[in-house]
Structure 1
Amino acid sequence: MSQGYFGPALWIRIRHRFGPRMSEWFMAGHMLMFGWVLLLPSETFNQPAFWSFRELVPSENFLGWTMLGIGCMRIVGLVINGARERVTPQIRQISAGVGCLIWSGISYGFASSDVVSTWIAIYPLFAFGELVNIHRAARDQGEIRNGSTQ
C-alpha cells in the first residue's frame, strides 16, 4: 500500500468510485431490502403473484435469508473494492452475475404466476441492469490489464 492510502485518501477513493458504480450499490441495496421484506412476519408467498415461488424455492425464509445475505456480501465487496488502491473487478463481475441470475429467477417466478403486475416493469430490467454491471466491471478489468481506453 502507498503511504497516502490511509485516512482521507481512503475516503476520497471510495467516494470517487461510488458514482460510476451506483447501479451496483442500488442492486445490492434492493436485494438486501427484498430479502428483508420476505423475512417480515406477514406471509408474502400467500399473495397471488407469489404462488409459483412456493414451488421454486424451499421457503419464503430461505429466499429472504439468501437475498439478505447476498445483498450484504455485495455491499461488503463494493466497499472493499472501493477502498483498495488496486481495484478487483472480479468481485463486481461475480456479484453482478449472481444478481442477474437472481433477478432473472424472480422475473421467472412472477411470470409463472400468470399475474400481470408492476413486476414486469421492474425485475426484468434489474436483470438487464446486472448485465450492464457485468460489462462495466469487465471493462474496468480490461483497463487494468491493458491501460485506459481513453
Structure 2
Amino acid sequence: MHYRNHPLPTRLYLGIADHFPARRSEWVLAGIMVAWGWILIGPAATFAGNRAWSQMAAMMSESAWGWFAIGVGTFRLLALIINGTFSGTWYGRWSPHVRALASFLTCFLWFQISFGLWASDAATTGLAVYPGLLVLDAMNIVAATKDAAGMDKAVSDGR
C-alpha cells in the first residue's frame, strides 16, 4: 500500500501500523537492542566487576558496546520505517535487503553476548534469554532474504 498522498506524520503512522504485524519481532528486537545499548552508556557500570560480562569487556569497552548496539538498533528501526512507509519509492525497493543486513548485525551482537556469557562460566539467566533472541533474529534473516528475493524478482519482471 502506498501512502504518498498523506501528510508525513499520517504516512508514517499508517505505514508502520500496516506492516507492524508482519515485522513484530523485528520491531521488538530492534527496540531491545537500543534499550540494551542505552543501559550500557548510562551512568551505572554494567560490566565492571561482573564476571558474566568479562568476555565482552575484554573485547570492547562498555560504552563502545552500548553505542554500537544503539547504532545497529536505530539503523534497524529506520529500515523498518522505510519498509513499511516508503515501499513504493526507489529506496524502498532495497528495504528488505537492508532489513536482512540489520538482522544479521543484531545476530552478531546477540551471538557476542551469548558466547561471552557462556565463556565467562558465570551462572546467569542471560543464557536463557540471549540465545533465544539470536534464534529469533536468525529467523528474521531468513524472512527478510525471502522478501528481498521476491522484490528482486518483481523488479526483474518489470513490476
Alignment check: 8 A CA contact 2:11 2:85 kept: no
Among all aligned residue pairs of Structure 1 and Structure 2, give the percentage whose two residues are the same amino acid: 31
Superposition RMSD in Å: 1.8
Residue-by-residue CA offset, 1:91-128 (whole Å, 9 max, x unaligned): 10000011111100111111111012111111111111
Which blocks of at least 5 consecutive residues in structure 1 are unaligned? none
Give 1:97's aligned amino acid: F
1:14 CA displacement = 2.6
Unpaired runs of 5+ residues, structure 2, are 155-159
Aligned to 1:19: 21
Q: TM-score, normalised by structure 2?
A: 0.82
CA distance in 2, matches of 1:73, 1:9: 20
Query: Which of these residues, 136, 142, 146, is aligned with residue 139 of structure 1?
Result: 146
Q: Equivalents in 2 of 1:11, 1:34: separation in Å? A: 25
Q: Corresponding residue for 2:51?
A: 48
Pairwise CA distance, 1:52:
1.8
Q: Which residue of 2 aligns with 1:124?
A: 131
Q: For residues 6 and 60 of structure 1, do their structure 2 counterparts lie closer, same or farther at Cα, with a shift above 3 Å needed?
A: same
Contact 1:77 1:91 in 2 (8 A): yes
Alignment match of 2:66 (pick from 56, 64, 67): 64
* CA deviation after TM superposition for structure 1 residue 146, in Å: 4.2
Distance 1:146 1:23 in 2: 25
**How many residues were matched structurally?**
144
1:86-125 superposed matches below 5 A? 86=88, 87=92, 88-125=95-132
